[in-house]
Amino acid sequence: MSSPVGHSLAGYVIAAWRDKSLKPRSLMLLGLYVFLANAPDLDFIPGILRGTPNMYHHGISHSIGFGFMFALVAGALISLRGGKRFGREFLFMFALYGSHLVLDLLSMDGRPPFGIPILWPFSDHYFMVPLLPPVMHSVLDDATIGQFLADVFSKHNLYVIGLEMMLTMPFLVILSLFSRRQVRHA
């Protein structure tokens, strides 16, 4: 699993690519985009409410099927409210949500079931392509909130966040060069 910082950076890069600018149109929109890129991890909330944060993490909210449904609803709400084209908004919402799934799929998972059920509802299997180090948040489903927080605020996770920032930099540089070129040609 990637960190909230990594997921937020991915959402920012996708939004910057869409807007062809590193400067967000508004902080409120940027907040929405970052929220959507982190939305699959809302599955922590029921576990936190029960006192065991990991209990429901990496369930169906980490799947293409759930992401598709989420993007349908979010795209419809945004297109209705803002008078925008549904198809374009749906694809953008799916890209934001999907960025989370891709990062978690590529990250090592240290607790069973290993990986994410990315192909739900077509398959109940969990998949993982461990190219990136994991973010630690306790390997036990029944870890207490104290154990969970001790792992979250570890040196290892600071290392992972630094790595995520380094991996995001090339995309931001390319987007910066592209947006400057667009301004010159306008």
Q: Go through 77-100 and write b for each residue having 16 or more CB atoms within 10 A of its CB, e for each that does not.
A: ebbeeeeeeeeebbebbbbbbbbb
pLDDT of residue 152: 75
Q: Is the pTM of this model over 0.75?
A: yes
- Please give the residue range of the domain that contains residue 142: 4-185
Q: Do the beta carbons of residue 76 and residue 19 sit within 8 Å?
A: no
pLDDT digits over 169-180, tens only?
A: 999 889 888 776
Distance CA 64, CA 46 (A): 21
CA-CA-CA-CA torsion sign (88, 90, 91, 92): positive
Distance CA 118, CA 125 (A): 8
> Cis (ω within 30 of 0) for the bond into 53?
no
pLDDT digits over 37-53, tens only?
A: 999 999 999 998 998 88
138 pLDDT higher than 90: no
Distance CA 147, CA 135 (A): 14
Q: What is the mean pLDDT of residues 79-88?
A: 87
Beta strands in the chain (DSSP E): none
pLDDT digits over 139-151, tens only?
A: 666 777 887 777 7
- To the nearest 10°, report the CA torsion of 147, 151, 154, 156: 160
pLDDT of residue 180: 66
pLDDT digits over 93-129, tens only?
A: 999 999 999 999 999 988 888 999 999 999 999 999 9
* Domains held by the chain: number: 1
